[in-house]
Structure 1
C-alpha cells in the first residue's frame, strides 16, 4: 500500500528545513531540502506502519494545507510494504538440507553456514 501526504517544508534560521505533516501531526527536519524530504518519508513510514499494525484507518490526505509564503508544500509518498521490508530486521528460521559430510566439513572449518547462506542469497539476488 502506498500512502501520499502533503508536507510543509519550512526553512530554518540555522539552516535546513523543518518538515511538518499536518494530516499525521508529525515533525522532522533535514540539513537541506533533499534530506528533509527523506526524513519526512521516513516519519510517514514509521507512523504508517503503526497505523497499519493497529488496524486503524489512515487519515484522508488534505487537498490543501495552510502555509506561509516562504514555505514549500509538496506531496510525499511512501510504499509501506517496501518501507516495512527495509526496516524489518527480524530473522526467520529456515530448515536447510545439505549432505552430512558437507555439514561436518563446515563445522570443522569453523564456517557459519547461516552467514554463508545469507551471503550467497544476497549475491544471487543482487542485494548489497
Structure 2
C-alpha cells in the first residue's frame, strides 16, 4: 500500500538539503543535494511508517500539500510516496503485512 506525506526541503548554505516531515513528529533527514535529499526522505518516511505500524500505532492523516507551512521562502514542499508492502517484504514482517 502506498502512503503519501508532505515533506519540507530546506536548502542549506553548503548545497545540502534538510528535510522535515511535519506530520510525522517533525521527522528529519538530509541529503548532499536535492536528489539525495528526496531519496533520503523516502527512506526515512518508509522506516518511520513501517516501525509505527509494526508497533501498532495509528498513522496520522497527511496534511494537504497546500496547507503545509514552511519557515523559509526558499524551502520546497513536496509529497513523498512510500510503498510499505515493499518494506514488509524486505523485512518479512507478517505483523505489518496484516496491517497493510
Using structure 2 for the length normalisation, give the TM-score. Answer: 0.81
Residue 19 in structure 1 maps to residue 19 in structure 2: yes
1:76 alignment partner, SS class:
strand
Tell me, in whole angstroms, the C-alpha distance in 1 between the residues paired with 2:18 and 2:92: 29
In the alignment, what sits opposite 2:88?
Answer: 84
In the alignment, what sits opposite 2:98?
Answer: none
Count of equivalent residues: 89
What's the offset of the Cα at 1:81?
1.0
Measured on the aligned residues, the alpha-carbon RMSD in Å equals: 1.6
Using structure 1 for the length normalisation, give the TM-score. Answer: 0.65
What's the offset of the Cα at 1:57?
0.9
Tell me, in whole angstroms, the C-alpha distance in 2 between the residues paired with 1:41 and 1:85: 17
1:55 alignment partner, SS class:
coil
1:3 alignment partner, SS class:
strand
Gaps of 5+ in 1: 91-128
2:7 alignment partner, SS class:
strand
Residue 73 in structure 1 maps to residue 77 in structure 2: yes
Structure with the greater alpha carbon radius of gyration: 1
Tell me, in whole angstroms, the C-alpha distance in 1 between the residues paired with 2:28 and 2:8: 9
Gaps of 5+ in 2: 94-100
In the alignment, what sits opposite 1:116?
Answer: none
Structure having the higher strand fraction is 2
Q: After superposition, where does 1:22-101 map in structure 2 within 5 Å?
A: 22-24=22-24, 25-63=26-64, 64-67=67-70, 68-86=72-90, 88=91
Runs of 4+ in 1 over 2 A off after TM superposition: 83-86
